[in-house]
Each structure stands twice: as structure tokens, then as C-alpha cells.
Structure 1
Amino acid sequence: MQTLDLIVFVLYMGGITLFGVSFYSQDKSASAFTLGNSNFPAWVVTMSIFATFVSSISFLGLPGNAYQSNWNSFVFSLSIPVASVMAVQFFVPIYRKLNSPSAYSYLETKFGLWARVYVSACYLLTQLMRIGTILYLLALPVNALFGWDILIIIAITGLVVMIYSLLGGIQAVMWTDAIQGVVLIGGALICLIYIAFRMPEGPGQIIDIAQQHNKFSLGSFGTSPSESTFWVVLIYGIFINLQNYGIDQNYVQRYMASRSDAEAKRSALWGGMLYVPVSLLFFMIGTSLFAYYQVFPDTLPVDLQDPAKGDRVFPFFIVDVLPAGLTGLLIASIFAAGMSTISTSINSSSTVLLVDYFQRFSTKYSSEKQSMRVLYLTSFVISVLGIGIAFAMINVKSALDAWWKLASVFSGGMLGLFLLGAFVEKVNRRGTILGVALGVILILWMSLSPLLWTSGPMQAYASPFHAYQSIVFGTMILFITGFLVTLVARRR
């Protein structure tokens, strides 16, 4: 069994790598490396946006989350249509008009250089954590299947993605995204169908068991600010997805890589909408696994019966239950999800470092040769740092929760700054700086105080709000402060 799965897995990894590297001859300029000369078909851009959103965080984290608890996290997906429509109406036209490879050059036109540097630095930190989290989750099923050391798996996977991202540029990233998007959807569908028909009483038994254990619950509809209620997750999802579509370099770069404004808008809309049913598929897999191991409890090892290890149940099922060949295909699907996101993060991060730092601050003329050297070097450094962070993720309890909390911390008011620039004309820059400072302080307090002040006299000053809400309050205080200071300055 392992031999056939290994063949399928190696063929997929080798094929994707060779396909990505084949674009090397077409990436001899910075424009080709970062935007592919803006000549991608609409369907490729759509699938690339979708594949960027879906990663091993989704492929393993969402089933693991549904297995551990319920469908509360699916509420996050329900917020995506709001962000997609906003992207089409407001974000895409702004960036297409600006015509820059970087999402953050826009902020300099509104607030000055400091805003561009601040937000691009926050973006780079977020991408490093994202690469690390995904590399760790990719290592889990391979470790379960072949018994290889997790550290070695992380290192090899990171190097493979780095090779085709570095050599093939954005063309390798987006064309492999399109392929990997199809592979991961197909793999997830096959897995769900297989689980459903393995149940002794058929697919309906999954629904019955799930309803008995309240697994389809979307969470409490109460108003407690300290719990992940339906409303807390929904509001968090709206804000974080507005940030994704509005100011995340990963998405903005794809808007700019489209052939026309109309195609960019269509891709932004459908690339986001496609994630909703696919995330539903992932949650259904997690719920089906719960039902399966309720019927066959003796087949689940004792060390995986701890609910905190829900992220590891799906990889175990893939290895222990799926037939030869299909196991290798599912592992390939998981890698398809993760590799597409990692390659995107590497390419976009190197683009930001080139445009927002090297070209912006270089006192000498930047030739194409120099620019390509910067892109190659930064792609390598970002990859190595991501691998190091993945090593540190090994002992994390829940990769999905860890990623969401870290995303809120590193957001640092990025969305509030963009919204202030987009919807308030001639913003007062001092008020904006004050808003950023207050927003960052609030985010740090909401995210860190519950972890640091768990006992003693400082416990009373810990944040009573759920960590997911830090981006919400941080964005609001930044926007309101900047708006009010601007209003007062105008009246004076």
C-alpha cells in the first residue's frame, strides 16, 4: 500500500515542481516575475484567488475544527460574499487605476511613506506566520503515512515550493494554483463520498449522529463578547475578509495580473464565492469523521481520542482507512492546498520587498538584473524563515485557532488605514498616526492580556473580549480616530 501511495505522491510533487520550473525562461524581468505581464486568462486568476484562500489550514484545520466541536467556524465562510462584493465595487477599481505591483503604494499617496512601510511590514509578518502554519499542517499526513520525521518533511516541502516559486515567478504560482485548485476539490469530494458509504447504515447515519451531538450548530446566538458566538465569528470574518480582499498583496497582485478591469472584477467575485461551498465540504468531512469514529471507536488510537488532537484525525483516517492509491491522491490534494498558498506568499512577499523597499529606497537606478537578484534572494530568505516558524508550530494545540489569533495580532489596523484612505478625502495625517497607535495598543491588549494576566492583581485588567474581535475593535478605533481628527481639523 505504501509503495503505491508513495509513487502517486512523488509523481504529483515532481510533476508540479517541473511544471512550475518550466516558466523560468519566461521570467527574465521584474514585471514578468511579479505580474506575468498582466496576461492571465480570467479562469486562471479566479482559481488562483480561490487556491490562495484555501490552504492546508482549510484542508486539515476545518475538518479538525468540525471534528472537535461544531460548525461555528463555518460562519467565517458566510462572511466572504460581503468581502467579494466590496472588492468588486471598491477595491479592484482603486488598484487597477493605481497600476502598481504593490498594494501598499496606494497608502503612500494618501498618508505618506510611513503608512506604506508600516502596513507592508505587518503584511510580511503575517505571511511568515502563514507559511509556517501551512508547512506544519502539510507535514502531519506525510508523517502519519510514511513515518518520516516531521522536521525533515517541513524542510523538504518548503524547499520544493521555494524552487518553483523562485524560478517560475508569478506565472508558475498562478498556473499551478489553477491545477491544484481542481485537485484539492476533487480529492475532498472523493474522501467525503468514501466516508459516507463506509457507514453501516449509509450516508443518512452521519446526519443522525451529527444531529444527536449538535455537530451542525453554528454556535451560540448570545451576546457574550468573550465567546466565539455566531456574531463574534461573523463580524470577525467580515473584517478579516475585507482585509484580505482590500489590502492583502496576495489578492491585489492577482487583480493587477488580470487582462482587463472587467476580468479582474469577475475573478475577485467568483474566486471568493467558490470558497463557500468548498469550506462547507471540509466541515462536512470533519463531521463525517466524527460520526465514523462514533460507530467504529476501537479503530481510533487512544492518543487521538483527545479532542485537542482533532487536526490529526483526518490524516490518520487517510492513512488507516482509504485504499491504496486513494491515500496518495488525498495526500497530494492536501499538498495542493498548501503549496498553492505557500507559493503565493513567497512570490507576493518578494514583490513587496522589491517594490516597497528596494526600489522605493534605492538611491541608484534599479536595473532588471538587480531587481531579479532581489526577487530571487528575498524568495529564498522568506522560504527559510517560513520553514523555521513551521518548526516552532509543532507543539501548537490547534493550528486553525493559532492562525486566526496571529492574523488578528499582525493585522495591526491595516484594514482601518485602508478604509480611512478610501472613504475619507484629504485625511489629517496626525490623526491617522494617532489612530494607528491607539489601534495597535488595543489589539495588543485584547490579544495578549488574557494570556499574560491569568492570575494575580492584573487579572482584573485583562481583556473580556474574544481574541477574534481584536481586528474589529482595532480597525474601528483607527478609522473613528482618524475621521474625527480630520473633521475637527477641517472646522478649524
Structure 2
Amino acid sequence: MSTIDWTVLIFTLVGVVVYGVWIGRGQKSNESYLKADNKMPWYIVLIGIMATQASAITFISAPGQAYTDGMRFVQYYFGLPLAMIVICITFIPIFQRLNVYTAYEYLENRFDKKTRVLTSLLFLFSRGLSTGISIYAPSIILSSVLNWDIYLTNVLTGGILLIYTYIGGAKAIAHTQKLQFLIILGTMAFAGYLLIQNMPNGIGFKDALYLAGKSGKLNVITTEFDWKDKYNIWSGLIGGFFLALSYFGTDQSQVGRYITAKDNTNAKMGLLLNGLVKIPMQFSILLIGALLFAFFSLKPAPVYFNERSYQHLEETKPEQAAVFEKEHQDLQAKFNSESKEILKLKEAHSPQLNNKIEDFKNTQTQVKALHGRVEEAINNSKYNAEKTDTNYIFLYFVKNTLPVGMVGLLFAVIFLASWGSISAALNSLAACSLKDVHLIFKKELPDDATELKYSRLHTLAWGIFSIGVAMFATQMGSLIEAVNVLGSLFYGPILGIFLVAFYFKKVKGANVFISAILSEITVIAIYNFDIVSFLWLNVIGAAAVIIFSAVGLIFYKPKAVSS
């Protein structure tokens, strides 16, 4: 990067850290550190909810996901609006009435202490691992740009955001998320504009969309039903609904955002508006990926977008790399030529258009096959890097196409997106491990100052743990899929526990405790045997808790308390 890019990047990141430390100063109790004194208006709640979900993974991996697999990933969010309505009706009133620090406090009131602890541990394990992946996502940027070791960049990325998260707690997180998200949305919109502007002369937005459509990248809705298909309208509406219901309703990283609201109305407004704007936002980010495919069908693309991995192949197997390079140059030249010819024939309404489109698709298949062989060769070389280059596609465009200054700002955006998500996760992990595990077994609660000290120590501990997890994230392929698969292994049983708590009043603690354990075992077994795609695991996990609990009512009848 240029000196100007480095200046923009460093100035932006330092500015956010300083702002976070300043706005979060003067913490004196956990009410402020973990719940921001319950003073957040609806728009801060909305931005916090969106920023917590839309981590750097969203902006790094989602365009690459659309580039390789099309835009059908957006169906993953189709169940979200309905889930927001259910949460506003059922979850929020209970959490607000009980004035909880964590969602799992309610479970002790409804069931017993062991059910609260079990659910908390499921959350802590899943969220701790996914936070590590979220730290790794921006780390690959520094690793790629500076040619630094990925393990060093993991430490730097996780360590910097810990500064204001450790000091300022929920208040610092809420206000920095507001600043971060405004910068992110503006910069991504401008990046999309520059993508169109950098198309070859005479080719505009409509032409790029046409090429993306003919290449199969605008597959927003797929209606075929297949249990193993990860993204179709059925898994999105049903599996996505259960995943969103569990994530936004029972995951402390999200619950912790809307329990900071002033009141029920502000909490509900934040969630409902999230249901309205999340799908269009994700659609726009995926559209950038589809347009990137059109861009690289008109301009030369690299053999492999992860340049460091391909460079390693060139150094260790130069003859094989030379063969790949020659085949790639021939195919890419043919692909670029056919793309431009399609647009000319389209403009002329030529009867030869359909034949040329078939040639274009055949060449696209050959390019994809070559990419697969290159990827296999890189993976066989045992190079310590990702198994795919999905996460590098958008970064390659940024580094090699955008003007000076904009490159640094885009890199800053990816850091800011990551920090918004990770800081909220660390705060929620600290709240949960402190309130639901650490203090629950103490006979006497500490004073405010001591409890605040404990909260900060828990925040620091989870930061260190997540950085450790990031060290092993290089083998997970598409990061956005890795996070969602991981969540789906645990969200179903957690949601099932809450659904039983809300709607099945006869079920008691011992029953639901055993049912939750059996449900988690069932979900892990189904995943290991690859029976269905991961979104359905959320439905299965929740349903299993309900079914096991219902069966348990037959065999387990609590003794009546004698008067």
C-alpha cells in the first residue's frame, strides 16, 4: 500500500480506539459496564444489532461467496423478519421485566440452576469459537498485504480492539459501533460505485448484471427442495427462521445489545427495523461479488486469488505452476473475448447470441475446473493457508484496482466491521461467564467495584481465548460458512430450551436438562453423518428438545408438594 493508504488506515483505526476509550471512561459498576445503564435509544440498538452480526466476515467472505456460488446465500436471511416479530412478542417483554444481565438468568427462574449453567456453557463454547474466527478474518488482510505471519496478525488484531472493550464495556461498544457502521456503509457503497466505474469503456451496470446473470451468479432464489442443499428458499425460510430466532433471541451477543435499550419500545423498534433492512444490505454486499465476476470476465483475473499460496506453489513446483499459468492465460483470454462478444451481440440483437452464451458457459466451466486443479495442488503441498481463495477475491480487487486512499479506507472498514462484532461478543461472553458461571456458585456477591474488576478480567480472558482460536482458523475455508455452521450446531438446542420454557409450562428442570443434552448429541451425530445441510440443524435441534421433553413428561412426573 502507498503512504497515503497507510495514513488513512492508521488514522481511522487509532481514531476509533481513542473515541471508544473516551466515550467509555468512568465505569463504576456492572450496570454500566455490561448494560450501558439501559439508556440506549432505538437507533443505537439497531446499529448495534446489525454491527454485531455483520462482522468483517460479511465484507470479506460474502462477495467471494457470491463470486464462486452466486447470490443464493441471501436466502439464508429470508426467515429473519418473522423471527424478529416472534422475539418482540415473546422474548423482549420477559427479559425487560426481569431486568436480566443475560438471557440465561430467566432459565434459572423458570427451571433450575443446572439448566441455566448448561445453556450458558453451550453459548460460551459456540460463541467463543466463532469469535476466534471473527478475529482471524481481518488478520488475513495484514498477512496478505504486509507478508507478515498470520499468527502475529491474529495477536495484533485481537489485542487492539481489547483496549476500548476492556476499558469502556457496553457503552464504548455501542457508541463505537455507531461510528463504525456509518463509515462501513458509506465506504462499501462507494466501492460498489468504483467497481462499475472500472469496467471496460462502454460497459455499464446493466451490462455487468447481464453477464453476471448469464454466468449463474444472480441465483437469488432457488426453489428446488434438497435436504443437503445449503441455500434454497426452503432452508432459508424454515431453517433460517429457527437460526435467527435462536441467534437474536437467545445468543447473549445479540440479547446484550437490546437489553441496553431505554425500554420495551426502543428494544422492539431496533429489532423490527433490523428485520427490514438486513436482507437488502446483505443482497447489496452479495451483488458486489456477482459484479466482481462480471468484472473479471471482462478483465484478466489471477490464476488464484490467494497470491501468497500460489507463489508458494510456484516456488515448490515451478513446472506444474507453469502449466497452470499457460492454460489459465489461454482460457482467460478466451473468456474475456467471449464476454465482450456477448455484449456486442446483445446490443445488435443478433441471432448468434444464444450460441455465444453457450460457448461462454463452457469456457466458464473450464476456468472453474482449472481453478479446482490449482486449489488441489496448493492443498496437496501442505502449505499452511486456507483451503480456498474465497476470502481473497474482494481483497484482490481492492488492492489492485481501487485508487490511492480508498485502499486504506477499505482495509480500515474491514477492521472496523470486525471490531464491532468482536467487541460485542467479548462483552457478552464476559457477562455470561461472570453472571451465569462464576458468581452463581458464590454464597456472597462481591461489591460493585470488585464485580466490575471481575467483568474486565473475564473480558480479557475471553479475548485471549479467542485469539488462540484464531490461530487454528486457517483450515476453515469460507469463513462466513464456518461461522454459520458452527452456530447451527448449538443454536437449535439452545432455542429449544427457551421454547419449552415459554410454551410448555408442565416441563420442569430435570426433564429439559436431559432433553437438551440428548438434543445436542442428536445434532452433532446428524452433522457428522452429513444427513442434511447445516441450516436444518437449527430446526432439528429445537424440535428435538421439545420432543424429548414431551416424552419425558410420560416417564418423569414431579412429586406433588404436600401442603
TM-score scaled to structure 2, two decimals? 0.81
CA distance in 2, matches of 1:239, 1:407: 12
CA distance in 1, matches of 2:305, 2:180: 34
Contact 1:442 / 1:474 at 8 angstroms: preserved in 2? yes
CA distance in 2, matches of 1:161, 1:229: 33
Select the residue among 274, 294, 311 that pairs with 1:291: 294
Q: CA deviation at 1:18?
A: 0.7
Secondary structure of the structure 2 residue equivalent to 1:274: helix
Contact 1:44 / 1:178 at 8 angstroms: preserved in 2? yes
The corresponding residue for 2:53 is 53
Select the residue among 466, 470, 479 that pairs with 1:386: 466
Q: How does 1:49-88 map to 2 (within 5 A)?
A: 49-88=49-88
Contact 2:511 / 2:556 at 8 angstroms: preserved in 1? no
Secondary structure of the structure 1 residue equivalent to 2:389: helix
- CA distance 1:281–1:219, shift in 2 (3 Å): closer
Q: Does 1:481 pair with 2:484?
A: no
Over residues 457-492 of structure 1, what are the superposed CA-to-partner deviations in whole Å (9 max), with x where a residue is unaligned? xxxxxxx22233222111111112223544787899
Q: How does 1:363-374 map to 2 (within 5 A)?
A: 363-374=443-454
Q: Does 1:18 pair with 2:18?
A: yes
CA distance in 2, matches of 1:344, 1:226: 32
The corresponding residue for 1:400 is 480
Aligned-partner residue type, residue 223 of structure 2: F
The corresponding residue for 2:171 is 171
The corresponding residue for 2:420 is 340
Q: Which has the larger radius of gyration?
A: 2
Q: CA deviation at 1:101?
A: 0.8
The corresponding residue for 2:228 is 226
The corresponding residue for 1:146 is 146
Over residues 132-183 of structure 1, what are the superposed CA-to-partner deviations in whole Å (9 max), with x where a residue is unaligned? 1111111223333333332222211101111110001111001001111111
CA distance in 2, matches of 1:224, 1:37: 47
CA distance in 2, matches of 1:273, 1:22: 33
Contact 1:122 / 1:412 at 8 angstroms: preserved in 2? no
Over residues 19-69 of structure 1, what are the superposed CA-to-partner deviations in whole Å (9 max), with x where a residue is unaligned? 111134321111110111111222112111111111112111211110111
CA distance in 1, matches of 2:448, 2:125: 27
CA distance in 2, matches of 1:396, 1:356: 30
Aligned-partner residue type, residue 211 of structure 1: G
The corresponding residue for 1:254 is 257
% same residue: 25
CA distance in 1, matches of 2:209, 2:393: 19
CA distance in 2, matches of 1:43, 1:400: 26
- CA distance 1:310–1:365, shift in 2 (3 Å): closer
The corresponding residue for 2:535 is 468
- CA distance 1:327–1:357, shift in 2 (3 Å): same
Contact 2:76 / 2:231 at 8 angstroms: preserved in 1? no
Q: Does 1:421 pair with 2:533?
A: no
Contact 1:87 / 1:269 at 8 angstroms: preserved in 2? no
Equivalent pairs, count? 479
Contact 2:9 / 2:411 at 8 angstroms: preserved in 1? yes
CA distance in 1, matches of 2:538, 2:68: 25
Contact 1:70 / 1:219 at 8 angstroms: preserved in 2? no
The corresponding residue for 2:266 is 263
CA distance in 2, matches of 1:225, 1:332: 39
Q: Give the aligned CA root-mean-square deviation in angstroms.
A: 2.1
Q: Which moved more, 1:5-14 or 1:23-32?
A: 23-32
Q: Does 1:276 pair with 2:279?
A: yes
Secondary structure of the structure 1 residue equivalent to 2:216: coil
Give structure 1 stretches of 5+ with no counterpart. Answer: 451-463
Contact 1:222 / 1:229 at 8 angstroms: preserved in 2? no
Q: CA deviation at 1:229?
A: 4.5
